[in-house]
Structure 1
Amino acid sequence: MKPTLPSINSSQVKADLYLQLSRMEEAGLTLQHAVEILDSHQNKITKHLKLFQQYLKAGKPITESGFNAGIFSAFDKEIVHAGETSGNLENIYKQLAKLYSNKAINIKQLKTKLYLPILILTLFIFIQPLPALILNTISVPEYLWTSIGTLLSIGLFFYIILNVVSWLTRGPLKFLGLAKPIYQLQLILPGLSNWFITRQINNFLIYLSLMLAAGIAISEAFPKAMSTINNPMFRTKFTPAALAINKGISLTESLRLVLEMDEQIIQQIKVGEESGKLAETIQHFTDIQRDELIGQDNFVVEWIPRIIYLFIVGIVAYSIVTGSTLSSI
C-alpha cells in the first residue's frame, strides 16, 4: 500500500520528529497525545500529523498510521513495528533520530561549503556583461536576458548532472536501457568504485544494526538491510551471505562470502557476535567509519570551489583574449 501523502523528505524534520517522539515516549505520553503536541509545533508537516492523528483515532496500528500519513518511510515502518512489538519504542525513536540527524548534518555541511562559490559565480555572471551595458553596447533587457539566461543554463546543467544517474536507473529515462551499464560503471570505474562500495556497505551495516537493535532476527534483518543497497548488481553479491545465514551460519562467516567486505569489518562483527553485543558493535564501527567518510567527502567538496574559481579565471582570460562574453561561449 502506498502512503496517502508523500513521505517527508527532509532529514532534519525527521530527526527532530523522532527526537521529540523519543522524549514523549520517555515521559510516558500516549502516542495520540504526543502527536497532538507535535501538531502544535511542527508547522512544516501539519498535514502529515493531522492525518496521522486521524488514523490513530480510527484504531489503526502505529506503523500503519505513520506510513500511510507519510511520516514513516518503508524502512522506518519496519523498525518502529519491531520496537513496538519488543516494547522498545523509545530507543528506536532515538536511533532513528540519530540516523536522520547525521544525514541532515552531512547535507548542511555540503551546502555551507557551496554557498560562497555559488554566490561568486552568480556575481560573476551578472558583472561580466556589465561593461557592455555601461557603454550602451547592450540594452537593459539584453543585459538581464544574457545574465539570467546564463545563470539558468548553468543551473540547469548542474541539475541534470546531479540527477541524470537516478533518472537513467530508476526514473523517467529508465526506458533507455542504460541502467545496467551505469550500475556496472559504479562497480568497476577506478576511484568511483571504491568510494561507492564503501558507502553502500556502511549504509547497509547502519540499517542492519538498527534492525538488530530493534529485536528483528538476523535472518529477517539481513535481506531487509540488503534492500537498502541502491545498486542491484552489488546487492546480488550479498545473496550468498543471506542464504548462509538462513542455514544457521554466523554473520561473520556469512559476510566472508562477500568479497568486497573488508576484513576489519568482519573482525569487528566477530567480536560483536562473541560478546553478545552485535548491534552495538556494528553501530560503534559505522559511527567511526562515518566520520572517516565525511572527512573524505569534505576533501572532495573543498575542490568544488577551486574548480569554480578556475572556471571563472578561465572565462575571464578567454574573454580578454577574444572579447567574447560568457553567454556567447
Structure 2
Amino acid sequence: MPIFEYKGRSEEGLMVSGTQEATDLDALGTALMLSKITPIEIKQQAAAAAAFKLFEEKVTSLDVMLFSRQLYTLLKAGIPIMRALSGIQSSVGNKQLARVVGQLRASLDAGRELSAAMAEHPKVFDNFYISMIRVGETTGNLDNIFLRLAEHIEFERFMRGQIKSALRYPLFVMTAMAIAIVVINIMVIPQFEKVFASMHADLPLITKILIAFSSFMRNYWFVLIAMIAGAVWTFKSYISTVAGRSQWDRFKMRIPIAGKIIFKGTMARFARSFALSTRSGLPILSALRLVAQTVENDYISAKILSMSSGIERGETILRTATQTGVFNSLVLQMIAVGEESGSLDELMQEIADMYQADVEYDVKTLGAQIEPIMIMFLGALVLVLALGVFLPIWDMSSVMLKGG
C-alpha cells in the first residue's frame, strides 16, 4: 500500500502530523476522522522515500513486548506516562521504535489519548493491542494492561515458534526426498538407461516409466519449472480470496500430525486472548469480535464470529461453542462451569494452558511421530527404484543362465 504524509488538527485545535499507509486518500481521510483528527493536507510520499522505508529497521513483536514490560514497570512505580515514554525513547535500541515512541509523546502532548496515538501505527500496534489500551484508559488500570499485553505477546511468540517447529521437520523431510528424486533422475537412471539400451532388452513397464520420467525431467526441465511456478501462483491466488484462505486454514488443521499442533496452537491463542479481553473488562460480545481478528486463522475466526452472533440472539456461550464443532468435550465442560460460576475468564486461561502443554508435548515428540511415515515414504521410493532398475538385470541374468 502507498504511504501518505498528513497534517491535521486534533479536537483541541492543535496541529498534528505523521505518516500512515492507506489504500487511497479517501481511506486515510476516513481513518483520520475516526481518530478525531481533521485532515488539512494529505499527500502521497515520494517513491524514493517510500523505497527507503523498505530498508528501515522493523519493529518486531519482541520489541513491542519489551516496550510493554518497561511501561508497566515505570507506571507501576508511579512515574507519569510522559516521563516513562521519554525514558524508553532514549534507551530503546530499535531506532524505528524510538521514532514511534517520540510520535506517541507528541500526540499525548497535543492532548490525544494513548490508544488514538497508537492507532496511527498499525504495523507496530495491532487492533487487539489498541483495544486493550483503550480498556485500560477507561478503567484506569493501564499499568496492569501493559503487563497482560506483554505476557500475551510472549505467549503469541511462543505459540508461533512451536507451530513453526512442528512444520519445519516435515518440510525438511519432503525437501530432502524431492532433492533425492531429482538427483536419481538426472544422474543415476540415465546410466542404467545406457546399459539397458546396449543390451536391447525388453524392459518391464515400471522401468519404462522411470526412464520416460527421467528423460522428460532432463529434456523438458523448463516445463516442470513452469508447471511448479504455475501451481504456486494458482495456490497463492486462491488463498488470497476469502473463501480460499478459509479453506486453506481449515485444511492446515487436518494435515496428519502437524495439523493437530496447528489446531491446538490456534485454540490456545483464542482462549488466552479471550481470557485477557474479558479479564480486562471488555464485554463478552466485544471480546469475541476482537479475538476473532487475532487468531490468524480465517476458519476459526468465522466460528468465533458465529459464537458472537449466537450470543447476540440470546443463546448461551456453551450452546454457541457447541454449535461451532471445534471444541472437544473437556473444553465444553469447562466453558459450562465457567459460565455458571461467573469465572469464564479463569477457565479460559486454564484451557489456554492445557492446549499450550499439549502443543509443547506434541512438538517434543514430533520426531518419533513422523519417523514411521518418513520410513514408509523412503521405503516406497527405494522399492520403486529397486524394481525399476534391478528387474531388467534379473531378467537378463535369467536369460543368460538359460542360454548357457
Q: How high is the TM-score relative to the length of structure 2?
A: 0.55
1:226 and 2:242 correspond: no
Give the drift of 1:112: 10
Give the drift of 1:38: 0.8
Aligned to 2:303: 237
Gaps in structure 2 of 5+ consecutive residues: 4-18, 22-52, 173-227, 379-404
Aligned to 2:107: 55
Q: 1:30-179 to 2 correspondence within 5 Å? A: 30-44=80-94, 45-69=97-121, 70-105=123-158, 169-170=239-240, 179=245
Q: Indicate the percent of aligned positions where both proteins have the same amino acid.
A: 19
Greater mean deviation of Cα atoms: 259-268 or 281-290? 281-290
Q: 1:249-268 to 2 correspondence within 5 Å? A: 249-268=315-334
In the alignment, the residues of structure 1 paired with residue 124 and residue 325 of structure 2 have an alpha-carbon distance, to the nearest angstrom, of: 37
Query: Residues 214 and 232 from structure 1, CA distance in 2 versus in 1: closer, same or farther, beyond 3 angstroms?
Result: same
In the alignment, the residues of structure 1 paired with residue 335 and residue 287 of structure 2 have an alpha-carbon distance, to the nearest angstrom, of: 15
Aligned residue identity for 2:104: F
Aligned residue identity for 2:109: K
Give the drift of 1:79: 1.1
Q: Check whether the contact 1:63–1:72 (CA below 8 A) recurs between aligned residues.
A: no
Give the drift of 1:180: 5.8
Aligned residue identity for 1:102: F
In the alignment, the residues of structure 1 paired with residue 63 and residue 245 of structure 2 have an alpha-carbon distance, to the nearest angstrom, of: 32
Larger radius of gyration: 2
Gaps in structure 1 of 5+ consecutive residues: 119-156, 312-329
Aligned residue identity for 1:74: N
Aligned to 2:365: 299
Secondary structure in 2 matching 1:43: coil
Out of 24, 27, 43, the residue aligned to residue 77 of structure 2 is 27
Q: Check whether the contact 1:11–1:103 (CA below 8 A) recurs between aligned residues.
A: no
In the alignment, the residues of structure 2 paired with residue 229 and residue 107 of structure 1 have an alpha-carbon distance, to the nearest angstrom, of: 11
Aligned to 2:349: 283
Aligned residue identity for 1:98: E
Secondary structure in 1 matching 2:261: helix
In the alignment, the residues of structure 1 paired with residue 77 and residue 273 of structure 2 have an alpha-carbon distance, to the nearest angstrom, of: 27
Greater mean deviation of Cα atoms: 102-111 or 15-24? 102-111
In the alignment, the residues of structure 2 paired with residue 112 and residue 183 of structure 1 have an alpha-carbon distance, to the nearest angstrom, of: 18
Q: Which has the higher strand share?
A: 2
Query: Residues 245 and 201 from structure 1, CA distance in 2 versus in 1: closer, same or farther, beyond 3 angstroms?
Result: same
RMSD: 4.3
1:4 and 2:20 correspond: yes
Aligned residue identity for 1:42: V
Deviations 1:251-309 (A, max 9, x none): 223211111111211211222223322212211321232122123234337999xx9xx
Aligned to 1:247: 313
Give the drift of 1:111: 9.3
Q: How high is the TM-score relative to the length of structure 1?
A: 0.66
Query: Residues 108 and 179 from structure 1, CA distance in 2 versus in 1: closer, same or farther, beyond 3 angstroms?
Result: closer
Secondary structure in 1 matching 2:323: coil
Query: Residues 28 and 228 from structure 1, CA distance in 2 versus in 1: closer, same or farther, beyond 3 angstroms?
Result: same
Q: Which has the higher contact order (CA 8 A, sep 6+)?
A: 1
In the alignment, the residues of structure 2 paired with residue 182 and residue 244 of structure 1 have an alpha-carbon distance, to the nearest angstrom, of: 25
Q: Check whether the contact 2:156–2:269 (CA below 8 A) recurs between aligned residues.
A: no
Aligned to 2:11: none
In the alignment, the residues of structure 2 paired with residue 221 and residue 110 of structure 1 have an alpha-carbon distance, to the nearest angstrom, of: 25
Deviations 1:130-149 (A, max 9, x none): xxxxxxxxxxxxxxxxxxxx
Deviations 1:216-242 (A, max 9, x none): 111221122122343434433344422
Aligned to 1:194: 260
Out of 193, 196, 210, the residue aligned to residue 276 of structure 2 is 210
In the alignment, the residues of structure 2 paired with residue 242 and residue 249 of structure 1 have an alpha-carbon distance, to the nearest angstrom, of: 9
In the alignment, the residues of structure 2 paired with residue 291 and residue 248 of structure 1 have an alpha-carbon distance, to the nearest angstrom, of: 34
Deviations 1:78-97 (A, max 9, x none): 11111211122222111111
Q: Check whether the contact 1:205–1:286 (CA below 8 A) recurs between aligned residues.
A: yes
Q: Check whether the contact 1:79–1:214 (CA below 8 A) recurs between aligned residues.
A: yes
Deviations 1:33-90 (A, max 9, x none): 1111111221212111111111111111110112314542111001111121112222
Give the drift of 1:212: 0.4
Secondary structure in 2 matching 1:40: helix
Q: Check whether the contact 1:106–1:294 (CA below 8 A) recurs between aligned residues.
A: no
Alignment length (residue pairs): 268
Aligned residue identity for 1:36: S
In the alignment, the residues of structure 2 paired with residue 229 and residue 111 of structure 1 have an alpha-carbon distance, to the nearest angstrom, of: 15
Query: Residues 259 and 181 from structure 1, CA distance in 2 versus in 1: closer, same or farther, beyond 3 angstroms?
Result: closer
